[in-house]
Amino acid sequence: MFFFPFDMTFLILIPGFILAAYAQYQVSSAYKTYSKVPTKTGITGADAARAILNNNDLKNVGIENIAGNLTDHYDPRGKVMRLSEGVSQKASIAAVGIAAHETGHALQDKDGYWPLRFRNIIVPISGFASNLAWPLFFLGFFFAQTSWGYALMDLGIILFCLALVFTVITLPVEFNASSRAVRTLIDNHIIQPGEEVGVKKVLRAAALTYVAAALMAFLNLLRLLLLRGSRD
């Protein structure tokens, strides 16, 4: 993200910054609270994930530990779920909720859930587009008096749109994985009645970070369009 001298368009990003900060606070607060609340069944995150996978004919999906905090993710190419120590080894509401969320992605992969497939296809494209969008636009912006300057700005905007598509398609993928998580935890008797309240709070907080990312991407696109228009 770039800021230009005397550029007031960055002000439109403020709502995105506020929502991002609020989402991060919600995630930290919910995780801190419910990582201290043990599950009544005493099942750890890794055990919960393994049970759900096995009960859905996904014994081929491996579970590995990964360093860091809240670095948990499912790798559809390697068919492996990677869980952080705070999730895999702990028998808490937060741990089983996050682990179940990642198994939700594995279930999406098994079912051929099209938003996940589409996201997986555009991952390398969106990464490439995101890395080039701002530098190209930045270069074109300062050479807008030339024909190729306008072309570079337009190319930067197009590439940024591809990155925006990735953040938007991520929303249904994450929300669907969370809804699957709650259902599978209940169906597999990993949590007891009433414990789903804490699981939902943790997963809703996590989902809010994706909403914030999508909003920030949209506001950045709007900012690019405003900057592009100022050069006409």
pTM of the model: 0.89
CA–CA gap between residue 192 and residue 90 (Å, rounded)? 17
pLDDT at 5: 52
Question: Tens of pLDDT along 15-37?
Answer: 999 999 999 999 999 999 999 99
The number of beta carbons lying within 10 Å of the beta carbon of residue 227 is: 20
pLDDT at 31: 96
CA–CA gap between residue 202 and residue 204 (Å, rounded)? 6
The number of angstroms, rounded, from the C-alpha of 186 to the middle of its chain's C-alpha atoms is 24
CA–CA gap between residue 117 and residue 129 (Å, rounded)? 19
CA–CA gap between residue 89 and residue 80 (Å, rounded)? 17
CA–CA gap between residue 40 and residue 56 (Å, rounded)? 23
pLDDT at 149: 86
Positive or negative, the CA dihedral 8, 13, 17, 22 is positive
**Stretches in the chain below the pLDDT threshold 50:** none
Q: Which of 127, 86, 102 is nearest to 49 (CA)?
A: 102
pLDDT at 229: 81
* Residues classed as catalytic: 102
From first CA to last CA, the distance across the chain in angstroms is 22
pLDDT at 10: 83
pLDDT at 4: 52
Cα 153 to Cα 1, 90, 164: the distances in Å are 14, 49, 16
pLDDT at 144: 75
Question: Tens of pLDDT along 28-73?
Answer: 999 999 999 999 999 999 999 999 999 999 999 999 999 988 899 9
The number of beta carbons lying within 10 Å of the beta carbon of residue 153 is: 24
